[in-house]
Structure 1
Amino acid sequence: MTGSEVSPSFRLAYVPGVTPTKWVRIWNERLPEVPLNLIAVPAAEVFDVLRSGGADAGFVRLPIDRTDLSAIPLYTEATVVVVPKDHVVAAVDQVSAEDLADEVVLHPLDDVLDWERLPGQPAIERPATTADAIELVAAGVGLLVVPQSLARLHHRKDLTYRPVSDAPESRIALSWPQDETTDLVEQFIGIVRGRTVNSTRGRPPTPAQPKRKRSDTGGAQRKPAAGKSSGKSPRSGSGGPKGGKRGKPRRRS
């Protein structure tokens, strides 16, 4: 390697709530010579990071402008409402948006849900971030509706959450610049899609091994070894009436 050559690496951006641990582990097992660098990015900024070349690929929240970015949808998250543990909502298994009609529902500026109509009553002021909204829920100011992964990320002992049956859902996808679909990006796509080592794109498959040739018997039957019985007596007349001289018929008295 010359002094001007740089060791390859893979830069992976991810938005809050996504846990890339499993995929990073598989990458390290398959490509230990290529370091994978994680970059935590706010959901609103991740597309600019990808377009500017700040990351090779990233876990993002849909929707996405596919004009210059490619994306592979991965999974859909449940949506939950975060409430104090002593709140009446904590006593049920799930709620609907209508059940929250009389509640103050916080709507942070970094909200990632695509609402047609916000549930509940609006707060006097919108919190700047989801983390700020969690603090206000703990203070009894209002409730917060978020993807379940964000409720887990900002977990507090004094708060809990319940599914909201008719709220919009958040979908997670792997995205990368269309013009930068490199071999390393293809490798990571293969990992995310669950391809095996040999089927992952960008890596040549293991050549098939030649089959061992079986000895050809030609379908001929084995002859019995000399001196061994083949099931029939070697003596003449075997299988018929017993041989020997026939005696003269007796005279009748």
Structure 2
Amino acid sequence: MRTDFVANISHELKTPVGALSLLAEALADSDDPDVVTRLSGKIVKEAERLALAIEDLLELSRIELGGDSNRHELAVVGILEDAADRVRGLAERRHIRLEIQDKDSALSVVGDRRQLVSAIGNLVDNAVKYSEMDSIVRLGVCLNGDRVTFSVSDSGMGIASQHLDRIFERFYRVDRARSRDTGGVGLGLAIVRHVAANHGGEVKVTSQEGEGSTFMLSIPVSRASVAESQTDNPVSAAG
């Protein structure tokens, strides 16, 4: 499996590096201002793609190392807000509204803020990239038994059923051509799966082609926040 991983990441890194080399050669051979402008734009795009690939690879490596040293009590609404902020610039450029629901939730979890924000941020990033312009991406959170479930929903193109069992695999991409346009290398959802597992949870997806997708990441709720909620609402706690 490690051999396959190295082969895949080598391919993903070689592709933009090769493109950068060819574009740089073409740029050096041209003195046409229009050509220079066009090639410069392509160089920037390939450089960004390379940077994203390296960033995802480093993030996945950090998460796989695990460890509990950065785990703290975290408000779930704060996690959603931080994740949305990471993608807000892209959402604004695509005229997509990020709507955070359940803003009054007092629930909390014990976890690594960096990992959780990265995971939810990846889900929001995908939702924005694969949604139509002028649409809405909804972020929510709710309590299901002893677990907090974060959800990210869009009304985009959706995912065909034959892909749903594999989309959390490393480097698996439903539409490779579209992924290249959006800069993805197929590690984002693998990162989400690892973060969920590191927090004793899981990630699921429901999707319908042409109607959108909902991704749900569930992890154990903080006992302290449940106890506080029951203290604040004794009637509800009593059933």
Bigger CA radius of gyration:
1
Same fold (TM over 0.5): no
Higher relative helix content: 2
Q: Work out which structure has the larger RCO, using CA pairs closer than 8 Å and 6 or more positions apart in sequence.
A: 1
TM-score calculated relative to the size of structure 2: 0.21
